[in-house]
Chains A and B, each alone.
Chain A
Amino acid sequence: MGPRCVDALNQALHEAFEASDRVCLIGEDVFDPYGGAFKVTRGLSTKYPDRVYSSPISEAGITGVAVGMALRGLRPVVEIMFGDFICLAFDQIVNHASKLRAMYDDQVTCPLVLRAAMGGRRGYGPTHSQSLEKHLVGVPHIAVAAPSAVHPVRDMLRRAILEDDRPVVFLENKLLYGERLLEPEGGRFGEFAARTSEGLYPTVVLSLGGFEHADLTIVTFGGMVPFAMRAAEELLLEEEVYSDVVVLGQLAPPDLTAVLPSVERSGRCLFAEEGTLTGGVGAEWAARIQEAAWDALEAPVARVAAADDIVPCAKALEAQVLPDHEDIAAAARRLLRQGCRSRTP
């Protein structure tokens, strides 16, 4: 077992601060001893008091301040406490951070990392539980990154801060913070053989069939990864269905390189996300996978997502809205029964 996710993220911040005095951080309640609502910034304000700004409750303002800093040569990190509040910073992301380099004809860069905690299952209710990735993946000229339990989380965040000259929205899942990250042993995560792609925000492909055989490709990210892995294991035990679980580290811009070989092996693909269904991340990826791998697909790409609804507070009601391993397994069984191509004469 690896470190807890929150500690990996914290180490990444400390390493980035150590590596460059251009790195600074702005967020609400990030000073010690509190160290941020999810404790990711612990220790930074003690060690680097002049590079950490514990801010008023001003998501638009702090994001704009970071954009101005980035324009002038710093590498700021913004912490948006609950990802839901990213809506308040949307003008800064869409009309400022993402556009400056392109509309100023490459005269500037805007290297900033905007971290936000997404996801439900903690009973925080409609405005503190959402997964809003889909509102960001359609924004040109930014990177949308999503670490997971099988990702090298520390490297991802450190490299996002130090190496990526784009604005990066780095979306962390709340449930993941307290969990221990999985570390591969001999190229495997338990029953899954694993391959991790190159790049700042790699794709991790997990294969129950040892990359030789697959009946199903489950593409997912962030907080849905444990559910997808569990569904894949159940499908193998109960149905003898071999799945690949493709874990995206970069939601946008979409890069199919690591996805297509699995889809070509399996012929069936399912995209699972915690955000709501309509106009979801999965809609974009499904369209792209279908365009790129049409000849290999036995059936349309299926999608598992939250209902188009609020995330209620009550645990039982929340569970009805958010997808879990049972929803993935059920969708997989439906998908495996579909075979439009084989029925065609």
Chain B
Amino acid sequence: MDTQNTAVLLQTVDRMAAPAGECPPDAAFYRRMALIRRFEENLLELFAAGKLMGTTHTCSGQEANAVGVIAHLAPQDVVFSSHRCHGHYLARTGDAEGLLAELLGLPTGICGGKGGSQHLCRGSFYTNGVQGGIVPLAVGAALAEKRKGTSAIAAVWLGDGTLGEGVVYESFNMASLWKAPVLFVVENNRYAQTTPVEMGLAGTIRGRPEAFAIPTAELDTTDPREVWEAARDPVAAVRGEGRPFCLVLHTYRFGPHSKGDDFRPQAEVAAARARDPLLVTGRRLDPEERERIDREVAERIAAVTARLAGGAPEVR
């Protein structure tokens, strides 16, 4: 494929109602996060109703990271993600219809039903299901954009569990040596499937990129505005200086790793839910506006589900 046509790319990106360089308003963040949340909840309901096959990895609770970082990315930028990619995809594209069709295995899905939940591609957005394997692709894509002289950068999402894979460190090393304009975003949701981060990760997360002389910032928030603020300078540096940066975002997923494999303490999940990014952002909205957004998002998901899956499942 040659350099992608900008007009086509623009159709694959939905920038959350903010001009480049400006923070999206709370209502726009809230609407997109609510879309991601409702999309993910709907998936688990569809599985329970026997209307979805295969597997999925939901990101409920992590929405602020997706919307806060991706709001900085330009249409020509290249985004890579992992098995837990729906939030990143929806933050980038807003395309709940294409994604649900893909998960349902329909020909109208973004990959014709061949990719399913964790093998997505649309425009310059790519994901794969093998831990860490896509990280060097992001380095290569960043180097290719640099070589072609576009101003595009690459951003790649990885998790705490991904840090167990050796190819991640090969990628850090080459990105730093070859000054690849790539933003590594590590979402530490504290569990690799069922393994707590303390059992799977020696040392610190930020010590890893820093060992390769990759500048790193770290924060622990569920507020998309704070994520947006934290990502602004890194994205500008990656683009302006043509070198890598690593953003470590401490987070938590509300749902199981996949569908029914949750062994975490209930109190821990409850404590995380008290910091729900939708609550944090929703408090800043007019209650009527918040309810209207919730209703519109629910109606949109219900309508697309009814159209594609033959009726929304019973909500329990």
A64 adjacent to B112 (CB under 8 Å): no
Residue in B3, B140, B166, B170 whose beta carbon sits within 8 Å of that of A68 in the complex = B140
At the interface, yes or no: A107 with Cβ under 8 Å from chain B? yes
A72 adjacent to B128 (CB under 8 Å): no
A53 to B177 Cα, complex, angstroms = 10
A91-B133, A103-B111 given as contacts; is B128 within 8 A of A56 (CB)? Answer: no
A104 adjacent to B121 (CB under 8 Å): yes
Report the minimal beta-carbon distance from B195 to chain A, rounded to whole angstroms: 21
User: Which residue of the partner chain A has the closest CB to B129?
Assistant: A95
Residue in B115, B136, B144, B171 whose beta carbon sits within 8 Å of that of A72 in the complex = B144
Near B by CB (< 8 A), chain A positions 49-86 give 50-51, 53, 55-56, 58, 60-74, 76
At the interface, yes or no: B316 with Cβ under 8 Å from chain A? no
At the interface, yes or no: A96 with Cβ under 8 Å from chain B? yes
User: Which residue of the partner chain B has the closest CB to A102?
Assistant: B114
Interface string of B1-15 (1 = CB under 8 A from A): 111000000000000
At the interface, yes or no: B185 with Cβ under 8 Å from chain A? no
Residue in A51, A55, A72, A100 whose beta carbon sits within 8 Å of that of B174 in the complex = A55
A24 to B147 Cα, complex, angstroms = 10
Interface string of B142-180 (1 = CB under 8 A from A): 111101100000100000000000110011011001100
**A contact residues, total (Cβ < 8 Å):** 36
Report the minimal beta-carbon distance from A25 to chain B, rounded to whole angstroms: 12
A64 adjacent to B1 (CB under 8 Å): no
At the interface, yes or no: B139 with Cβ under 8 Å from chain A? yes
B133 adjacent to A65 (CB under 8 Å): no
A108 to B170 Cα, complex, angstroms = 25
Residue in B136, B142, B154, B173 whose beta carbon sits within 8 Å of that of A64 in the complex = B136
A127 to B306 Cα, complex, angstroms = 57
A69 to B148 Cα, complex, angstroms = 10
Chain A residues, CB < 8 A from B167: 58, 60-61, 64, 91
Residue in B111, B142, B154 whose beta carbon sits within 8 Å of that of A104 in the complex = B111
User: Which residue of the partner chain A has the closest CB to B182?
Assistant: A68
B2 adjacent to A73 (CB under 8 Å): yes
Inter-chain pairs besides A70-B140, A95-B130, A102-B114, 8 sampled, C-beta below 8 Å: A61-B167, A61-B170, A61-B173, A64-B139, A65-B139, A67-B136, A68-B137, A105-B115
* 6 A–B pairs (Cβ distance < 8 Å), ordered by A: A61-B170, A62-B174, A65-B143, A92-B133, A99-B119, A104-B115
